[in-house]
Structures are given as C-alpha cells and as structure tokens.
Amino acid sequence: MKISFDSWLVRLIVCLIASSLGLSTCLAQAPVGSIEGSVTDASGRIVSAAQITVIDKATGATRESRVEANGQFRFVALPVADYTIRIEAPSCAKFSEDAIHLSVGNTVLIRAVLSAGAVHDTVTVDAVTESLDLVSNNLGKTVTHQQIVTLPLNGRNFAQLGLLQTGVAPLTAGLITQGGSLRSGQSYAVNGQRPEANNFLLDGAQNVDRMDGGFALRVPIDAIQEFRILTATSSPEYGGNIGSVTSVVTRGGTVKYHGSVYEFFRNDIFDTRNYFSKNVEPLKQNQFGGTVGGPVFSERFFFFSYYEGLRNRAGVTTSAVVPTTAQQNGDFSGNATPLINYAAGGVPVPGGKLPPSSINSVGRNVANLYPTGNVTPSVYTSTVVGTNNYYQTGIRLDLHRTPSDS
C-alpha cells in the first residue's frame, strides 16, 4: 500500500496533537452531520439508477454515491458547512438543491422528485432545507455564525448566546461571589445542574477546565462557525458530565482567500458615576484582532487562522470599615458597648481607653496601616483600577485528500 507524503504528514501531526492533549476519544464527538433522503419520480416510483453528488460550497470538496435499491441514500460524517446536492438519472432532468446548511450533529432530509426531461434540463430548488435530527433524542439548539457576529455581546463572549435557549440560566450573584475568579469560564447553568457539570467541546476535542470547571479556551467569535448546546438526553458519545454539552465548531478555509480586521473599544466617557464613588470609575477596554483563511498550494489543503488581544483597565469602587483615629490610639470610649479586658478576667476597661503602656508596638504599627475614613470616621471608600490583558492565536488545517479521506 502506498501512502502519499501529504497524507502521512497530516496523520502524523494529528496523532502528535491528540497524544499530547489526551484526545483518545475525540473521534466519537467529531463536529459532523449527515445528509440523507430518497429519490422518486413524479408518480412516486423509486429511481434506483440515480447518481448523487454532494458538494461543499466553501471548499469544492465532493462526495458521490448511488441510490440504494430501496431508493434511499445517505452521506455521513460530513463537516459542518453549506452544501449543494446534485442528482442525475437516465431520462430525467437533473435535480439540484443549493440551500442546504448542515449543522453539528444534525441530519438534513432531502426528498428529491425527478421529472422526465432531457439530459440538459435541470430542476433547481432554492428553498432552505430544514435540519432535522432524525437519529437521536438530543434536545438542544444551534447558534449560527450569522447570529454570533451580529448580535451584541458584552465582551464578545459567545457563551452569552447560550442564555437564549430553553433551560439555560445565568449564574446567580451569590454563586459568582462564592467562586470568584474560578468561575471565569463558567457562563451558565442548565436545567438546575451546577455549572461545573457542563461539558465543552472544541471541534470535537475536550475544552474543559478540569480545575475550576467551565471552558478552558474561549475562542473569538470571529473564528466560530457555529455552536450547539445539548441541554438534555445527550447521546453516549458525549458522556463524562451530567449537565449540558456545548459543541463549538471553528471556521475553516475556503477556495478563495478571505479575512477580517476588527477592534472594539469601550471607555468611561458616557458612563455615569457610581453612587459610592466621588468620580466616574475609570474604564479603558480595547479588543482587537484579525482572521485570515484560504487554500494552501492546492484546492485540497485549506487553512484558517485567527488572532485576538484584549487590554482592559477597569475601576471598581469598594467600601470597608476602618478604625477611627481615636481607636488607632487605643481610645474606644465612643463605642456603644464597653471594651472588655479578658486578660484581667473579663472586666471593663476603665473609660474605654487602653493605657499606652498596654499597647503592643507591633499592634500599633498594624493599626496605623489602615487608611483614615473618608465617608464617615469609620468607613473608607476607594476606587481600585484592575488590569486584565490576554492574547491568543490559533490555526485550523483541513486536507481533503480524496472524497473518502479528509
């Protein structure tokens, strides 16, 4: 058996990446779908001699098959994309349907009816074919690339669109406070399950933060083709978590070079003042990046790459109870309750004032580190500016070596 160099190289790269990431079972969760249906004539009789071709509109990759004896056909493990299907049979006009969108995990059903005609005649169907999941009982919804890039998203986080689905709820304020920064990758809870119970897939590979839960890598929305949240009754290949399954599919290259450059910025010019702060809280945020994709040397090898950076400077106003100037010097006479000396058996301190000789020098130095109250003698409020920067890049390679080897 002879294996070409390009096939050997791609398989080696895939094996090395899968080995390093521990993706031994990612093939069962591959982000693919199916196209199936039947071919009949105008009278409803089976056309068993039909030749069927499925064409990826972005890359031009084709898959061919013949109708089975029962008039049925099926194409499985098709990448998520827009497709054209063409059907030819003797003594029949050609059948063509262009508006086929295949989503992750879905099956598109085609009912082709061929009409009698010459070989050069073509019947074209332009209506959009609905994606029907006919092979599983998974419950969920797909969010398309058009929805991702056009709907307003705070921080351009794709997971916010998951809140539009049934059974998906945002994290409560108490839950966020309890988890703090550890919940940065946790965006929602599904059907009452804890956010740690959600599973995230990126092009079929696990994308879960095993330490804190949530997703490990947040891909920029300009690099996402679509994503789907399975909210209940997921298939066995999605095992490992009892909550939802979010499957993200990245964009791939096409036969033509394409790209984009973007920057989104926010600042405090139009913000209002926080009630507890003296001035408007500072805010300077820049989110920028770009994408590029296209063919590599041939019409069988494609790439898509992205880069995104974030620079955020945001002020947060907080308040704290601090000792008054008198309390820093050991004078607690203004307290509503008496100061108790437990070292002397629990008796009140005379006048609520500590003798200077009884104040430890270390304790006095620690007390002097507290700021002086600026709202009341015992309440201090300040605006602290935090910094959050990140930069990420990625690349996707697709090789369509033969119609049956990708």
* Each residue's pLDDT tens digit, 254-302: 999 999 999 999 899 888 888 878 889 999 999 999 999 999 988 889 9
Domain 138-250 has CATH 3.40.190.10: no
Report residue 21's pLDDT band, with 50, 70 and 90 as the boundaries. Answer: very low
pLDDT, greater one: 395 or 403: 395
Report residue 9's pLDDT band, with 50, 70 and 90 as the boundaries. Answer: low
* Each residue's pLDDT tens digit, 39-57: 999 889 999 889 999 999 9
pLDDT, greater one: 391 or 4: 391
Q: Classify domain 31-125 by CATH number.
A: 2.60.40.1120
What is the three-state SS of the chain? CCCCHHHHHHHHHHHHHHHHHCCCCHHHHCCEEEEEEEEEECCCCECCCCEEEEEECCCCCEEEEECCCCCEEEEEEEECEEEEEEEECCCECEEEEEEEEECCCCEEEEEEEECECCCCCEEEECCCECECCCCCCCEEEEEEHHHHHHCCCCCCCHHHHHHHCCCEECCCHHHHHHHHHHHCCCCCEECCCCHHHCEEEECCEECECCCCCCECCCCCHHHEEEEEEEEECCCHHHCCCCCCEEEEEECCCCCCCEEEEEEEEEECCCCCCCCCCCCCCCEEEEEEEEEEEEEECEEEEEEEEEEEEEEEEEEEEEEEECCCHHHHCCECCCCCCCCEEHHHCCEECHHHECCHHHCCHHHHHHHHCCCCCCCECCEEEEEEEEEEEEEEEEEEEEECCECCEC
Q: Give domain limits for the chain.
A: 31-125, 138-250, 323-370
The confidence score (pLDDT) of residue 311 equals: 95
User: What percentage of residues in the chain have a pLDDT greater than 70?
Assistant: 85
